[in-house]
Amino acid sequence: MKAMIRGNESIAYAFKLARVQVVPAYPITPSTLVPEKISEFIANGEMKAEFVPVESEHSAISAAIGASARGVRVGTATASQGLALMHEVLFIASGMRLPIVMGIGNRALSAPINIWCDHQDSMSQRDTGWMQFYGENNQEGLDLGIMAFKIAEDKRVLLPAMVGLDAFVLTHTVEPVDMPEQSEVDDFLGEFKPNYVTLDPNKPATLGSFGFPEHYTEFRFAQWVAMEQAKKVIDEVFEEFEKKFGRKYRKVMPEHTEDADIIFVTMGSMSGTMREYIKKLRAQGKKVGMVKITVFRPFPKEELIEALQNAKVVAVVERNISMGFAGAVYGELAATFANKSKKPKFVDFIVGLGGRDITFNTLESVYKVAEKALTQDVDDVNWIDVNKEAVYKSEGLQ
Amino acid sequence: MYEVRFHGRGGQGAVTAANILAIAAVKQGFYSQSFPYFGVERRGAPVQAFTRIDDKRIDLRMNVYEPDAVVVLDPTLMSVIDVTQGLKEGGIIIINTAKKPEELGFSGYKVATVNATEIAIEHRLGSQAAPIVNTAILGAYSKAVGNVKIEHVLEAIRENAPAKKEENAKAAEAAYEKTVLGW
């Protein structure tokens, strides 16, 4: 069945189809429609779940931990400052190995206040031990939302997962989505059974307790091992999903890379615009390709090496910036190739912050620098579509 | 790919109109995408919304800069903003107004007019002071552009209008009949 839904609704439908049992949430632009839609499902009797209205995102994720520790399937959604407010608790969720799934409407962080798209919010939670998936469109939001539960709940993984959809560009865009049948999703996910020790008065246990220096590192290492294991589990789940639903997902999706001199690396909704732009360049005989990163945590090193090793220039196009260094994706990619004798030249492009539109003009500016990089040195980090003169002037650097 | 830009004021339903057009296009077998101009919405402030229609999957995610058609829900906007900005040469302008196309002084474009305000009031959509014209204007769109048939527009309205489904569909049908094409 084709449904015409917004990105936020694709997350809400994923939760409904996954038969999520508890949804603690606090509304924030642009993901407010997720809890709104879920409240509607529950009120209409279409979804059997407990919606927990809380007073902040800090409480939302804390309640999610409580419910998940009790042994039920839990989902929530947030964005931007809301995700930032959750920060300290995100480590607790992953440290306690609770398979919570959270939808993110990827949005910029203040100041200045901005409600529009970039990836700064979830990229800033990179080290919290959560898996991270990024959707290109609403179909991917729905599919990744469903698959995230299966991956997170796998006994070999037991880690929470975020599914990011770009603020407004996806969260508020209506487009056709293939809606799977409830029975198909039931069959795919199976009945939820917690694969971990739960809070049960009949079987008392302590969860999230003190970890002395004698034990703490082992707990951290266990998370590392789980993240490594997740790489394999993600492949398995993607393949099973493809068999059942006919839609192909991979941790990284290479397109036109075989003979490409320049490969663009993208994440999220910009990937669609990039695909169209590459068609234009290919029509002009330019050897360009792209690699879309769908899974950012665990970072798919092996697949990225495979996809990028023969390129001359890798242009990392990203909607986040780690001030004082570079974009996060660039840093990780460069490190991935650090010990390889054969490696492309990596060039970083910071685009589309705070909802600045990523257009063909933006991508052309990126391409021009990448093309120059084929034959000469260019800056490591390139800010695109920025009024640099105005900034230099205001910072006293004429 | 056919790209449409809607101009309205906050509260008039421009975003819903863009969504319903996208839904109607899919009913006809097209792919589509609709989205608002991502502003901070206030009642009465100028708002924009967009619909893309194509016979293959739409991957493009940037704003619409060179629409094939523009739909103007509120004629008073024309004194505030240039509704033809970026409109392709020979593109279509559909305007809610009592005036005839030739009275509006556009050149280089195809102009269609319909008194959607009057039609909305007749069908008791919104109030006298703030009629909801978004469904009527879709009838005019179907007549003027023709790529999405009126029956699909009516079906999409009946399924998706938040209230007064039948009245909304009737308003679109009436507008379809009353639209004046200036070409």
Q: How far is B31 from chain A (nearest CA, A)?
A: 7
pLDDT band, very low/low/confident/very high, at B11 (cuts 50, 70, 90): confident
Q: Look at residue A177 and tell me whether its pLDDT is greater than 90.
A: yes
Q: Tell me the residue type at B67.
A: P
Nearest alpha carbon to residue B172 among B103, B120, B109: B120
**Tally of domains within chain B:** 1
In angstroms, rounded to a whole number, what is the distance separating the alpha carbons of residues A314 and A289? 10
In angstroms, rounded to a whole number, what is the distance separating the alpha carbons of residues A142 and A146? 6
Residue A165, beta-bridge partner list: A105
pLDDT in tens, B56-73: 999 999 999 999 999 999
Q: How far is A133 from chain B (nearest CA, A)?
A: 19
CATH of domain A2-245: 3.40.50.970
Name the residue among B23, B26, B35 with its Cβ closest to that of A173.
B35
For a pLDDT cut of 70, what percent of chain B falls above it? 98
Q: Look at residue A219 and tell me whether its pLDDT is greater than 80.
A: yes
Q: What are phi and psi of A326, to 5 degrees?
A: -170, -175
State the average pLDDT over residues B38-62. Answer: 88
Put simply, whether A392 touches B (Cβ < 8 Å) is no
Q: Look at residue B43 and tell me whether its pLDDT is greater than 80.
A: no
Q: CB count, 10 Å around CB of B1?
A: 14
pLDDT in tens, A126-148: 999 999 999 999 999 999 999 99
Q: Look at residue A220 and tell me whether its pLDDT is greater than 80.
A: yes
Torsion over CA: B19, B20, B25, B29 (sign): positive
pLDDT of res. B41: 65
How much is the mean pLDDT over chain A?
A: 97
Asked whether the beta carbons of residue B38 and residue A358 sit closer than 8 angstroms, the reply is: no
Asked whether the beta carbons of residue A173 and residue B33 sit closer than 8 angstroms, the reply is: yes
- Cβ contacts (< 8 Å) between A4 and chain B: which residues? 19, 22-23, 26
Asked whether the beta carbons of residue B61 and residue A355 sit closer than 8 angstroms, the reply is: no
pLDDT of res. B40: 63
Q: Is B54 exposed, middle or buried (0-12, 13-18, 19+ CB in 10 A)?
A: middle
pLDDT in tens, B65-123: 999 999 999 999 999 999 999 999 999 999 999 999 999 999 999 999 999 999 999 99
Determine how β-strand A131-134 pairs with β-strand A295-297. Answer: antiparallel
Asked whether the beta carbons of residue B59 and residue A172 sit closer than 8 angstroms, the reply is: no
CATH architecture of the domain covering A252-394: 3-Layer(aba) Sandwich (3.40)
- Cβ contacts (< 8 Å) between B61 and chain A: which residues? 166, 169, 269-270, 272-273, 358
Whichever domain contains B150, its CATH number is 3.40.920.10
pLDDT of res. A30: 97
Q: CB count, 10 Å around CB of B173?
A: 21
State the average pLDDT over residues A39-60. Answer: 98
Q: Are B151 and B25 in contact (CB under 8 A)?
A: no
Put simply, whether A270 touches B (Cβ < 8 Å) is yes
How much is the mean pLDDT over chain B?
A: 95
Q: How far is A360 from chain B (nearest CA, A)?
A: 8
pLDDT in tens, B128-158: 989 999 999 999 999 999 999 999 999 999 9
Q: Range(s) for CATH 3.40.50.970 in chain A?
A: 2-245
pLDDT of res. B150: 98
Task: List Cβ neighbours of A289 (8 Å cut-off, separation of 6 or more).
Answer: A254, A255, A256, A257, A258, A260, A262, A263, A264, A278, A311
Nearest alpha carbon to residue A84 among A123, A33, A132, A51: A123
Q: How far is B36 from chain A (nearest CA, A)?
A: 7
Put simply, whether A169 touches B (Cβ < 8 Å) is yes
pLDDT in tens, A285-304: 999 999 999 999 999 999 99
Determine how β-strand A288-293 pairs with β-strand A262-266. Answer: parallel
Q: Look at residue B5 and tell me whether its pLDDT is greater than 90.
A: yes
In angstroms, rounded to a whole number, what is the distance separating the alpha carbons of residues A341 and A390? 41
Asked whether the beta carbons of residue B35 and residue A168 sit closer than 8 angstroms, the reply is: yes
Nearest alpha carbon to residue B180 among B81, B107, B93: B93
pLDDT band, very low/low/confident/very high, at B44 (cuts 50, 70, 90): confident
Q: Look at residue A215 and tell me whether its pLDDT is greater than 90.
A: yes
In angstroms, rounded to a whole number, what is the distance separating the alpha carbons of residues A16 and A94? 23
Put simply, whether A280 touches B (Cβ < 8 Å) is no
For a pLDDT cut of 90, what percent of chain B falls above it? 90
pLDDT band, very low/low/confident/very high, at B45 (cuts 50, 70, 90): confident
pLDDT in tens, A238-267: 999 999 999 999 999 999 999 999 999 999
- Cβ contacts (< 8 Å) between A273 and chain B: which residues? 59-62
Range of the domain at B108: 2-181
